[in-house]
Amino acid sequence: MTSTFTVHAAAGYERLMGRWSQKLAPLFIGFAGVADGEKILDVGCGIGSLTFALAGAADLAEICAVDYSPVFVEETIRRNKDPRIKVRQADACDLPFEGARFDRAMALLVLHFVPESGKAVAEMRRVVRPGGVVAAAVWDHLGGMPGMRMMVDTVAALSESGRQLRRRFCFQPMMQPGEMQRSFVEQGLVNVTQTQLMIRMDYQNFDDYWAPIAAGEGPLGKYVATLDTAERARTDAAVRDAYEAGRPDGPRSFANDAWACRGIVP
């Protein structure tokens, strides 16, 4: 298996994560760097949060965006109005490009969904020219995402399948401290640096937080979709209680921390 990401619908992804990855993208670009005239590869573009942010960040020669999901490829093509952006379906572990074709390869919130994530880093290195940059960011599900931990801790208290979900969620590839940095070094990148990028996810109310998950979007939504009616009602009520935290329903704001790494191709 080359991807563990669950795609339901592009609109659901927008509400679950796309609106937040749009906030994260400028921070990631600031860390990865970008310069006029460059050719950039966006690996795992989703619905284009990084792709379109890159297009506005510099006078780039070309942006190639690839994603494993045909649903997202189609949606990014539909949204695109920029002739410099080319979108196609591809696997991060087997990129359909010749070596040294790009100045930078970037992957925003992707590597934790790639079981052989080291292979994806190796491929990103292969397609970037010597002196160019490989950069990636993944969420820190275990220690840096209280809004989602709130849900997985709640379901873990309700059932064994919830405990299994929490274990999977907290220990996806590249998420442990230093793990992605080590992988970059193992794949032969040099001057590897790691940082943390923080955004806040601001929800209007419980429905704003829960609706995309309740609709089956993403890994947490996939879990919710497996529950029978009684388990589902119990889960909805318990997660609502955790969200509200003893106050009336309304806006809540959660910090979210991503590990980010960049390295140079020797």
**Could you tell me if residue 235 is left (phi over 0), alpha (psi between -120 and 50 degrees) or otherwise beta?**
alpha
Q: Is 3 in the site for ligand SAM (CB under 6 A)?
A: yes
- Report phi then psi at 151, rounded to 5: -70, -45
SS3 131: strand
Rounded Cα–Cα distance for residues 194 and 123 (Å): 19
Residue pair 8/221 in contact (Cβ under 8 Å)? The answer is yes
Nearer CB in complex with ligand SAM: 62/116: 116
Q: Is 176 in the site for ligand SAM (CB under 6 A)?
A: no
Contacts 24+ apart (CB under 8 A), 55-63: 55/82, 55/84, 55/85, 57/26, 57/29, 58/34, 60/34, 60/36, 60/84, 61/37, 62/86, 63/39
Q: Is 2 in the site for ligand SAM (CB under 6 A)?
A: yes
CB of 21 to ligand SAM, least distance (A): 3
Q: Select from 27, 50, 165, 175 the one that contacts ligand SAM (CB under 6 A).
A: 50
Q: Is 49 in the site for ligand SAM (CB under 6 A)?
A: yes
Nearer CB in complex with ligand SAM: 44/132: 44
Q: Select from 110, 128, 148, 151 the one that contacts ligand SAM (CB under 6 A).
A: 110
Nearer CB in complex with ligand SAM: 24/224: 24
CB of 13 to ligand SAM, least distance (A): 7
Q: Is 21 in the site for ligand SAM (CB under 6 A)?
A: yes
Count of residues that interact with ligand SAM, criterion CB under 6 A: 24
What's the DSSP call for residue 111? Answer: G
CB of 183 to ligand SAM, least distance (A): 15
Binding to ligand SAM in span 56-85, by CB under 6 A: 67-69, 72
Residues facing residue 209 across a β-bridge: none
Stretch that binds ligand SAM, among 79-87, 104-112, 222-230, 249-257 (CB under 6 A): 104-112
CB of 139 to ligand SAM, least distance (A): 8
Residue spans of alpha helices (H) in 138-196: 146-158, 160-170, 179-186
What's the DSSP call for residue 93? Answer: T
Residue pair 45/72 in contact (Cβ under 8 Å)? The answer is yes
Nearer CB in complex with ligand SAM: 2/159: 2
How far apart, in Å, are the Cα atoms of 17 and each of 147, 219, 220?
A: 12, 12, 12
Q: Which two tokens stand for residue 8?
A: 């339901």
Nearer CB in complex with ligand SAM: 10/156: 10
Q: Could you list the residues that contact ligand SAM (CB under 6 A)? A: 2-3, 5, 7, 17-18, 21, 44-46, 49-50, 67-69, 72, 91-93, 108-110, 113-114
